[in-house]
Each structure stands twice: as structure tokens, then as C-alpha cells.
Structure 1
């Protein structure tokens, strides 16, 4: 997206999200009846009558669903507002296969795709890469393989040491430093000579990079954000003046919406996830009866071993954990079946909410881009890889004016 397009698109997304927040804010998992269902009964009935398998098939591309209105109209608006082009691609210098040893295949593909989009136009090429929240430094080594300097900042000392050994083994000129990037002294690690890069640094971590790198007048930076809800505050704090002026106030639940798209989970993980959610939904029916209150009751994350318990024991133990009255005799097979039925309805009702998944993510990305514009950077945003490789495929490229 061209720098001059950032603000108009932000305003259009802002208006779209504000106008339809009654559709995307309420979570079907926590509401037995959603507020919008009385407004759009035909759509509600159509979605509720679909199977779990049908919901799963439409999960990644709900905009293609042939559902009753207003679904198609909203899908078209979502598609138009979310339209964003891939960033220019540059051929990468070939590296030894040894470089990708110890890197999971999908992660290496993401690194290659990220590296191929780092084209800067108006200043000298980067000479000192800084890999932010680097882990073992795989991204930094890919960028610095032809002799540039590399600094890797990482919080986990075991990853720092493992990265140092890999860099030494591969002959990469790298400095691996143990650093809490949220600590005050992190600012001393950046200078104007550094080109910071971050591939899927979470929430506050990538925001911190933008703040410190722009303070240090770094000439370039490249950031692919992730996990917008991983923040210390209990609501989103916009970065740009335009974000701060918006009437859109985002909770942690709202910030999790863009992360609900998944493409990497295997069949076993999906089965485990579905069983866990169906059981929670079955328990939700039970806890409303036990409390005499028709409201959702949050429950803690449970060890996967809980899924091996008989459903009756699962509910009885969870009721005790939440200090509820003992369930007593229940029709446990019927209750468990009701949980699976609710899961199918929840997943299908979520398809409407998911139309706002990408617009909200792009709103958040644009808030970051506009913040960097305010700090005297020319900013491009675009796609760096196919969504099948990672749904978090938006990249911010910033170059100091």
C-alpha cells in the first residue's frame, strides 16, 4: 500500500468497524443468543442449521460463503477494504542448506519470504542488522549471511547461547545478547546504524521496537506484527494521532479476533481443540442451570489430560474448581451431545464475525504505519507471503526521510 493511501484506508476501515461493531464484538462462544440475531433472523437460522464440518470448510474464507443477507454485502465490503498487494519481491542470494538446519520447514519458508521483501529505495543498503526478539537468530543469520554485521536480542538465555553456537558454526559475524527488550536499558542497544527486523514479535514487543527504533533514528525497519492482544494493559492504546482520535475502543477480546484464523494445526490438534471447546460448551449449559444465572462463566485453561476424563467427571471436577454446587444426576450423554451441537452453531455464527478479522488487523497495522509516518518515516505495508504459510503475513517497511 502506497504511503499516500494509508490515511484514507484507515478512515474507511474505521468507519466500517464502528458501524458494524454490534456484529463482530459479541463472541458466539460466550453468548447463547447474539444481539444481531433478532435483526437478521434468516441469516441466524441459516448459520445455526449448518454442520461443524461446513463451518470448518468456510473458516479461512468466510467471504466466499453464499449466505443470506446482509452477509454477502458485508463480505464484499470486507474484501474491498482488506485488499492489499504483495510487496515487491527481490531474488535472494543462495545460501548453504546448513543455514536452515535446526529451523522448522514452515518457519524457514517464512524467513525466506520476509527476507525477499526487504527492498529499501532512498538510502544505503543495511550494513548492520538487528534481530529483535531473535530466538536463536535464524532470521538475522539469513539476512547477514554475506558479511553484514548482526546483533540478536533475546530474553531467553538458553536461546541466546544456542544462537551463538549456531552463528559460530556457520561463520556468521553475529553478536547474541541477552536482553529484555521491555527493560529501560533496551534503548541503549539501538543506534542509527542498525536496521531492526522483527518477524512475528508479539504485541508490546513490536510496539516497543517501533518506539525505540524511531527514537534512535534507525534508517530502516521491517516488522511483521503478531498477537496484538499480548499487551500489558487491559485495552488497546492506539499509537497514531488518528488512532487516538478514533471512537473505536478495543478490548483484549477484540484484539484476539485477527488471530482466530488458523492454517497450521494438524488433525490431532484440531480434534483436541474441538473436544475441549465442545466440553466447555456442554459445561456452560450445565453451569447456567447450577447457578440459576443465564450468563457465561469463564473457566481456566485446563491440562489436556482433562480431556481423557469421562464427561461426567470433567463437569463435576470443573464445577468443584469453580465452587459451584455438585451437579448430581444428569443425562450426561445428552449434555455432551448438546455441547457438540453448540460448537457447530458457534463455529458457524463466528463466520459473520470473521468477516471483520482482516479489516481489524489492517486497522491495527495502519495505526502502526501512521505512527511511523508521524515520526518522519516513509512507510509501505504489504503482504510478504501467502496466507497458507502464515495468516500473519502483513509487513511494515519503514525508511527514514
Structure 2
């Protein structure tokens, strides 16, 4: 078995087109959300798969959540899993020797975040040694400080939160590093003034519009080097996805904010307590969903607001009554609250298992989005490498773009 390799310039378009065909062909399988629909349109076409998934337990769904491709489900699941895996295959970017971090540089950085920083930094294999790092949406500047390797290198950190700017400045002074921490809204009109040809701009998990903004401004301002690990594709101001590259524009694939959330649905970091709270919340909502359909006489999902964790401690009857009141609904009957809550848990098991088919398209859709970004940068004159910088358990958002103008 050959080891996957990163995608480079001449491979980007062909992979994008293959993914585009796959994603568009199977929209009926990944667009519908089991959480909001009692019956999914595809179930009529694939009754054996539907029945098999619906009979499984919540525990079985959880066990398969991160690797649905390994599930021995009825057709067409195995073929789709194989195709999704092949189309999503991307190798690790070449690693570089990274000098050990200076003493206590990782103090106050959560362990997982520091590991991500180390992994990101060790894959910044530019052909020329960067002279001036620009840490985009830097927070306290932990990434930027880790990148300062040479005496002559400089660092500029751009951050929107003044508290983080002040904390970052204090940390850089403490470590005696040549870093400038600037307060900057990167979406503001004056953000372009912060970038120039001398900068090597880096963004580790800058959300949605924020990393797209970096790509656009870096291209305009002549930045020669750029490294981005995209995140939170659904954090956009527009109501639908705005394609960047000529190929994505030509595709015609329309992606809603909900669609853009699909790649982010993978969970690897949540602890047991958080997962229990999540399950309890979703089961309660799904039970309430059955109730609200009866109350309204409409077989449609009714969006409900985010609720504090304290609501999970309410008796289920009170939970439903108060949530109904928030939505302007009156409960003029006496439901069997225990039975309704049990149905909520049963439905949660079905939802989670039905989502396993949708989850086969998480990585293909994410790679489609990252390739759109890569092709856009290629159109702006950059040489590109697209690969992974760490293993999936460290972060599912492990795709990274290295862009360089020569």
C-alpha cells in the first residue's frame, strides 16, 4: 500500500473536480439532517440500509462516529465509504527540524493546543527562511512566539480582543522576544495595511471569513508566503457559501450554513461529562420536537434557542412547558412525560445512526472547501502544497495549505 502524498499544484484541479462530482451526485444523502426530519428522503430508496441503521443502539452509533467508513452496513454504504476514502486521501506535509521551544514558552497554553502549535510549526517547509512572521487572529500569540527561531526574525501578531493583545504583549516581553502585538479587526477596511511582501502570514484555525480574508489580503498585498489550517467553515457573514476559485464558481454547488457545518460534526475532544450533557440535551429536544409537531398540527421541525445547562436539571414536564412558552405554544393536554422522554432517547439513537451515512461526506466536503481555497491561491500566483500536519485525534481540522510566491 502506497503512502498518500500531499497534493501539489498540478493535482489540485483534478482532485477538486472528482470530489465535486461525488459531492454533487450524492446531495440527497448528505444534505437532509436526521435531527430535523422524522423520515429522510433517501430512506425510501435504500430501505435495507434505513432499517439496519434505525435498529442500532446509541452506543453503537457513538462507537462508529469517528470512523463510519469501517461500518459493515448494507448497500450502498460500503461503496460510498470506499469512494469517500479514496477521494479524501491526502498525505502528510514534509516535516522540518524545529528547534526546541525556549524554557516555559508553553506555560498557560492548554496541552492539546500546544501540541497543535508544535505540529503546525514543524510543517512550515517554505523554500526560503521567513524573516517576518505575521500571526493572524493570534490570540495571545502563542503560535507566533513558537515560530521565532532566528535572532533576525520578527513577529507581528494581529488580534481583535484587547485583553488578549495585552496578555500577549506581556508574555512576549517576559520571554524577551521581538514581537509586536497589534489590536486589529481583520475584517475592517484598514486591515490590508498590516500586510506586505516581507510577511510570512500564518493562521492556525482562524474561523471561516477570517482565514478567507487573510488569503484575499495576502494576495493583494504581495505576501510571498502563507500557511493556513482552516477551521469553522460555517462561520461566515453571508447567508450561503461564496466560492472563491473559478472551478468552485463553475461547479454551481450551493452550500448553506448548515451544509458548511457538516465537516465540523466530528467529535474527538469532548470529555465524558460534556458528551452526557450533549446527549441529554439532544434527547430532550427530540422529545419536545415530537410534542411541538402535535401541538402545532404541523409535521415540521421548529428551531429552538440554545439553553443553559441548568435546564437539564428541570423535570422534563417543566422543561417542555417552559420551552413551549418560549416558542409561543400552549400545552392544553397532559402528555405522558415519561413516555415522551423515552421516545426522545429512542429517536436520538436513530438520529445518530442515520447520521453515519451523512458523516461519510464530512471529509470529502471539507477537502472540497480547502481545495477551493488552494485553487484560489493558485490563481493568485502561488505555488501550493495541501496536506495534513497532524493526526486526526489531535484535531480533525488537520488540513494545511502552504502557499509561496517565487
Q: TM (normalized to structure 2)?
A: 0.97
Q: 2:107 aligns with which of 101, 114, 119?
A: 101
Q: Does 1:368 align with 2:373?
A: yes
Aligned partners of 2:162 and 2:183 also within 8 Å: yes
**How far off its partner does 1:144 sit?**
1.0
Q: 1:391 aligns with which of 363, 372, 396?
A: 396
**How far off its partner does 1:326 sit?**
1.9
Matches within 5 A, 1:288-307: 288-307=293-312
In structure 2, the residue corresponding to 1:381 is in which secondary structure? strand
In structure 2, the residue corresponding to 1:27 is in which secondary structure? coil
Q: 1:84 aligns with which of 86, 90, 95?
A: 90
Aligned partners of 2:245 and 2:373 also within 8 Å: yes
Aligned partners of 1:316 and 1:327 also within 8 Å: no
- Counterpart-to-counterpart distance in 2, 1:353 and 1:335: 27
In structure 2, the residue corresponding to 1:91 is in which secondary structure? coil
**How far off its partner does 1:91 sit?**
2.0
Q: 1:237 aligns with which of 218, 235, 242?
A: 242
Matches within 5 A, 1:139-218: 139-147=143-151, 148-218=153-223
**How far off its partner does 1:145 sit?**
4.2
Query: Partner of 1:8 in structure 2?
Result: 14
In structure 1, the residue corresponding to 2:334 is in which secondary structure? coil
Q: 1:343 aligns with which of 337, 342, 348?
A: 348
Query: Partner of 1:272 in structure 2?
Result: 277
Aligned partners of 2:203 and 2:227 also within 8 Å: yes
Q: What's the CA shift string for 1:128-187, capped at 9, x where partnerless? A: 000000000000000014331000000000000000000000011000000000000000
Runs of 4+ displaced beyond 2 Å: none
Unaligned runs of 5+ in 2: 1-6
- Counterpart-to-counterpart distance in 2, 1:95 and 1:249: 44
Aligned partners of 1:235 and 1:252 also within 8 Å: yes
Query: Partner of 2:141 in structure 1?
Result: 137
In structure 1, the residue corresponding to 2:94 is in which secondary structure? coil
- Counterpart-to-counterpart distance in 1, 2:165 and 2:133: 16
**How far off its partner does 1:120 sit?**
1.1
Q: 2:255 aligns with which of 250, 256, 262?
A: 250
**How far off its partner does 1:328 sit?**
2.8
In structure 1, the residue corresponding to 2:181 is in which secondary structure? strand
- Counterpart-to-counterpart distance in 1, 2:360 and 2:13: 22
Q: 1:125 aligns with which of 120, 124, 129?
A: 129
**How far off its partner does 1:303 sit?**
1.1
Q: 1:313 aligns with which of 304, 315, 318?
A: 318
In structure 2, the residue corresponding to 1:294 is in which secondary structure? coil
- Counterpart-to-counterpart distance in 1, 2:332 and 2:378: 58
Query: Partner of 2:265 in structure 1?
Result: 260
**How far off its partner does 1:35 sit?**
0.1
In structure 1, the residue corresponding to 2:96 is in which secondary structure? coil
User: RMSD of the alignment, in Å?
Assistant: 0.7
Q: What's the CA shift string for 1:238-278, capped at 9, x where partnerless? A: 00011111121100000000000010000000000000000
Q: What's the CA shift string for 1:83-107, capped at 9, x where partnerless? A: 0000001121012241000100000
In structure 1, the residue corresponding to 2:28 is in which secondary structure? helix
In structure 1, the residue corresponding to 2:120 is in which secondary structure? helix
Aligned partners of 1:382 and 1:394 also within 8 Å: yes
Aligned partners of 1:319 and 1:327 also within 8 Å: no
In structure 2, the residue corresponding to 1:99 is in which secondary structure? coil
Aligned partners of 2:99 and 2:149 also within 8 Å: no
Query: Partner of 2:80 in structure 1?
Result: 74
Report how many residues are paired: 399
